[in-house]
Structure 1
């Protein structure tokens, strides 16, 4: 069953107790997108590879999840908001490692609905991709298919996806995570955190032209190790990474790079009952009647 917790950026406030999303089951981790609304897309459980969408209502809570019309995935999807639409990128169902994409919004009928799934030109992955908006384009970073651990990147300019290109020589044993941050010279960059074979997490950045290790003076390796994919978000000006423990440790931990510092703080356990068999998802959202941003974390149970 999916669960969620929230953190309000205020001294003395921590993570709220984990809450369940009734009737929302997934074999994989969910994917969150904040902004104008708080949306969650996830694949089903127990052989159900259909994708589902649930949305948070600040009065009534999470609405009943609705299945996407004809969209399937054998791993968690990735979602991001771009040009007033919700974009979803995912690998196919069962043995289909082709990457697919669809959008949720006004497709021309005057009502919000999902577009049909469209396949990428020649982009494949065995696991979950990562999405982020950087320099007015939607970037997708993903691991290769089958035994290809090389990471690749492509971007959507509003009309087409670019050809897949290698992310330098970097590899990943699980799905990567993306966020837009600033390096030590205050220059915006696309940050990617990915898992190495030994469970450690590595940080690289994209400047708009090439991929480079670390954030200038910042270390490239994050503290702690994980058995699954990490999650990234910028909240309160700081860069946050949520990771599941390594090996049999299913607790969720958070590490933070405080803006202007040169090191990571953590990892700190997120709560006594906050645990997951898979990776988590992070996003920032402020309810229509809210006065401050909140950091939302969603994950499946153990």
Structure 2
């Protein structure tokens, strides 16, 4: 897997910064993002799959300079796998960082870190089938949610972790989606999940969870195609979707209610994305990292 270099851009609600390469960070898989405070101040963490399929990660405190990449050779993702990242309390209640992935044997694993520098040994958990490709993670109502589509049939699936046990989420059986594009975000007190329609590069599907039930899918079909959509917040009342069009240019659309999207706009002129973007609101901006 030769990989392509990660690029980083930020959105302030009006415009995107010029994308900058995160030099030397090569991957073809979607990165994972999380904001975490291990004690010396909050930093933006980026986890990605290196050429050996090991967990690699870096961080930035000033949103510009990235630290030297570290790797954990004990964590190896499947050939089509990525590492999802989330900040969530550890078993002792202290702040923690979680990395979730699926290994070659189809077993789901998670690691934790209390300092952002070292990780626990991988620990398996159950409740999910092997994923098709992208794994997404989010914290909703004090619980860690992990989601993907299944390798067998492309069915949407999710598991809930309450700090002690993992349980599969119910009510997702009717939902099917593309492997590359499962993305989660908490917006308007609901957990939103977007994904590309199975077998289509023209439509994004959106469902949300209100703490009890999942809503019916709502379709978004922009001109020029849509693949590998990701969602994030720029502010409490605005949801942002970044995706690749048919020419692999990154575009973005805004929504104030999570149901209807404004007309998409080209994110920046020039380069094309070669993989799926990851979005995270950190401090005052929406951060976007993607292979290009």
Whether these two folds match at TM > 0.5 is yes
1:93-112 deviations in whole A, cap 9, x for unaligned?
A: xx433221111215xxxx85
2:121 pairs with 1:116:
yes
**Aligned equivalent of 1:263:** 260
TM-score between the two structures when normalised by the length of structure 2: 0.86
Aligned equivalent of 1:289: none
Alignment CA distance shift 1:274-1:15 (3 Å): farther
Q: Equivalent of 1:202, from 192, 202, 205? A: 205
How many equivalent residue pairs? 269
Name 1:21's counterpart in structure 2: 22
Distance in 2, Cα, partners of 1:103 & 1:232: 24
1:205-253 deviation line (CA, Å, top 9, x unaligned): 1111221125xxxxx11242323x321111122011111113xx11111
State the partner residue of 1:250: 248
CA contact (8 A) 2:30 2:134 kept: no
Change in CA separation of 1:262 and 1:158 when aligned onto 2, cut-off 3 Å: closer
Alignment of 1:223-238 (within 5 A): 223-224=221-222, 225-227=225-227, 229-236=228-235, 237-238=237-238
RMSD of equivalent CA atoms: 2.0
Assess, with a 3 A threshold, how the Cα gap between structure 1 residues 60 and 251 changes in structure 2: closer, same or farther.
closer
2:156 maps to 1:151: yes
Q: Which runs of 5+ in 1 are unaligned?
A: 183-187, 215-219, 287-292
Query: Which whole-Å CA distance do the structure 2 matches of 1:120 and 1:96 have between them?
Result: 13
Equivalent residue runs for 1:1-302 within 5 Å: 1-9=5-13, 13-34=14-35, 36-45=42-51, 48-58=52-62, 61-73=65-77, 74=79, 75-83=81-89, 84-92=95-103, 95-106=104-115, 112-123=117-128, 124-145=130-151, 147-163=152-168, 165=170, 167-174=172-179, 175-182=181-188, 188-197=189-198, 198-199=200-201, 200-213=203-216, 220-224=218-222, 225-227=225-227, 229-236=228-235, 237-246=237-246, 249-259=247-257, 263-286=260-283, 293-301=284-292
Q: Matched residues in 1 for 2:108 and 2:132: separation? A: 9
Assess if the C-alpha contact under 8 Å between 2:127 and 2:159 holds in 1. no
> 1:59 and 1:72 mapped to 2: Cα distance?
28
